Amino acid sequence: MEETWDREVICEICRVQLSRAAIAKSLTGLDLSVLEQPKRLININLAVRMDNGKVRFFPAYRVLYNDARGPGKGGIRFHPNVHMEEIKELAFLMALKCACTDIPFGGAKGGVKVDPKKHSEHEMERISRAYIREFAHFIGPDTDIPAPDVNTNSTTMAWMLNEYEKIVGHSAPAVITGKPLELGGSQGRDYSTSLGGAIVLREYLAKKKSGLKKASIAVQGFGNVGMHMARILFEWGAKIVAVSDSSTGIFDSGGINVKKAIEHKATGKSFETFPKGKKISNEELLELKVDVLIPAAVEDQVNDSNKDNIQAKTILEMANGPVTPTADDLLDRKGVEIIPDILANSGGVMVSYFEWVQNRNGKYWEEKEVNAMLEEKMVKAFNEVHALKEEEKINYRKAAYVLAIKRILKAEELRGNLSKPSK
């Protein structure tokens, strides 16, 4: 009898992406069903007392997608639009990201449906601690290792670490990454995602026989990733012609002084009041005619509504899933090269891995050592994806997916978890 999976369990976007990757000849005949559904899904309503004494409930999630290559790894996001399908997709991408860059982790993700802008710091701390109390038995240094994500940071991780250690009764710094340095965090972690992406872009442009200094670059999003991305590329001599925050963008064909843009934002002001450059919307930024577009905000920014208007030659995905599958197909046919998120923004999880290793060994590296190791690993990962792209005559996304999937399936095969081929 043919086996069927519960449609509530299967990650539909994951299934679609697996089907796309399966076109590559090296995946033909392999059993991909093991990756169509997560290993574990948990949905808990957190009961949290507010500052006014009333108790409110917040839907909370944790998905362990695959752990064939090692403990689950993935951030915890706080956002009013968090839902299970999103968390499943992000956990799937984390599994691929760790495999693509050859980190010995699986993929996981977590989230709480909450708007941090509507709550005090004390309420957010209670929500953070409640999350760990409910999920403590499903995470651990050898099981599933959380980290920061959207609207969470090192302070959030400090609260969560403290709560976890109260529960287990001993020090356990390796249970969470992205912590403050004083609690076992790693040097360089704050900007590691951006540095990893900048290294990938540098290597890509070198393969194209051009260079950073010749490229016009637009960066959508000026949070931690986008801001550091623009800063690093600017310091390396690149011409950043456009940047944007959540409300406004600025464009200057001659190049933006990113240092001054950062100083402006540090005062709490929007780009609306930035003294130089033409004011543009986020939508207009995405449609600029530039050499490199870097979506570094949230998912689904390049989609059916604007895919026909994208003029960038290359897209470097620094957000998770910023290009929808249908937009991806069209842009691929138009010759736009897209460097996928599972490669481009993997610097963060790479340094999270370094942090976990340091916590386990009790030996901590200096910032320059961390950055040197990050560069070595990112260059190696890019070269492996590029080599597979050239060998199989496929695009970068398919090459990254195929490389990651083959590594995960090999681990599943060695564990005896794959179906044997029919005779």
Considering the domain architecture, whether residues 154 and 45 belong to the same structural domain is answered as yes
> What confidence tens digit (pLDDT) does each residue in 248-259 have?
999 999 999 999
- Assess if residue 346 is contained within a domain: no
User: Which domain range does residue 315 map to?
Assistant: 191-339
Of the candidates 73, 88, 109, 179, the residue annotated as catalytic is 109
Domain boundary among 305, 322, 339: 339
Provide the pairing of β-strand 40-49 with 55-66.
antiparallel
User: What's the CATH code of the domain at 35?
Assistant: 3.40.50.10860
> What confidence tens digit (pLDDT) does each residue in 377-419 have?
999 999 999 999 999 999 999 999 999 999 999 999 999 988 6
- Assess if residue 52 is contained within a domain: yes
Rounded to whole angstroms, the Cα distance separating 356 from 350 reads 10
- Assess if residue 179 is contained within a domain: no
pLDDT confidence tier of residue 4, bands split at 50, 70 and 90: very low
Residue 14: the pLDDT is 72
Contact assessment for residue 356 and residue 174, using Cβ atoms and an 8 Å cutoff = yes
Residue 70 has pLDDT above 90, yes or no: yes
Residue 246 has pLDDT above 50, yes or no: yes
Which distant-in-sequence residues (6+ apart) come within 8 Å of 19 by Cβ? none
Considering the domain architecture, whether residues 102 and 139 belong to the same structural domain is answered as yes
Residue 8: the pLDDT is 53
Considering the domain architecture, whether residues 152 and 243 belong to the same structural domain is answered as no
Residue 3: the pLDDT is 37
Which distant-in-sequence residues (6+ apart) come within 8 Å of 407 by Cβ? 69, 99, 100, 102
Rounded to whole angstroms, the Cα distance separating 48 from 54 reads 8
pLDDT confidence tier of residue 34, bands split at 50, 70 and 90: confident
Residue 5: the pLDDT is 39
Length of the chain in terms of residues written: 423
> What confidence tens digit (pLDDT) does each residue in 182-220 have?
999 999 998 999 999 999 999 999 998 888 888 999 999
- Please state the domain count of the chain: 2
Domain boundary among 322, 339, 356: 339
- Assess if residue 377 is contained within a domain: no
- As a whole number of angstroms, the longest Cα–Cα distance in the chain is 71
- Assess if residue 77 is contained within a domain: yes
Q: Is 109 a catalytic residue?
A: yes
Considering the domain architecture, whether residues 282 and 226 belong to the same structural domain is answered as yes
Which distant-in-sequence residues (6+ apart) come within 8 Å of 166 by Cβ? none
Considering the domain architecture, whether residues 124 and 258 belong to the same structural domain is answered as no
For residue 153, CA distances in Å to 111, 150, 158, 196 come to: 13, 8, 9, 19
Q: Kindly write down the DSSP assignment for every residue of 188-253, as one continuous string.
A: TGGGHHHHHHHHHHHHHHHHTT--GGG-EEEEE--SHHHHHHHHHHHHTT-EEEEEE-SS-EEE-T
Considering the domain architecture, whether residues 142 and 273 belong to the same structural domain is answered as no
Considering the domain architecture, whether residues 78 and 107 belong to the same structural domain is answered as yes
Residue 16: the pLDDT is 72
Considering the domain architecture, whether residues 158 and 206 belong to the same structural domain is answered as no
For residue 122, CA distances in Å to 51, 131, 153, 305 come to: 8, 14, 15, 40
Query: Which pairs count as long-range contacts for 46-54, CB under 8 Å and 24+ apart, including other chains?
Result: 46/112, 46/127, 46/130, 46/131, 46/134, 47/130, 48/123, 48/126, 48/127, 48/130, 49/126, 50/119, 50/123, 51/120, 51/122, 51/123
Residue 241 has pLDDT above 50, yes or no: yes
> What confidence tens digit (pLDDT) does each residue in 259-316 have?
999 999 999 888 888 988 899 998 999 999 999 999 998 778 899 999 999 999 999 9
Domain boundary among 281, 304, 339: 339
Residue 103: the pLDDT is 96
Residue 2: the pLDDT is 35
Q: What is the CA radius of gyration of the chain?
A: 21
- Assess if residue 413 is contained within a domain: no
For residue 333, CA distances in Å to 14, 59, 150, 336, 409 come to: 22, 40, 32, 8, 29
> What confidence tens digit (pLDDT) does each residue in 83-112 have?
999 999 899 999 999 999 999 999 999 999
Tell me the torsion sign for CA atoms 276, 279, 281, 286: negative
> What confidence tens digit (pLDDT) does each residue in 328-385 have?
999 999 999 999 999 999 999 999 999 999 999 999 999 999 999 999 999 999 999 9
* pTM score, whole prediction: 0.91
- Assess if residue 361 is contained within a domain: no
Residue 210: the pLDDT is 83
- Assess if residue 277 is contained within a domain: yes
Contact assessment for residue 140 and residue 175, using Cβ atoms and an 8 Å cutoff = yes
275 secondary structure, DSSP code:
S
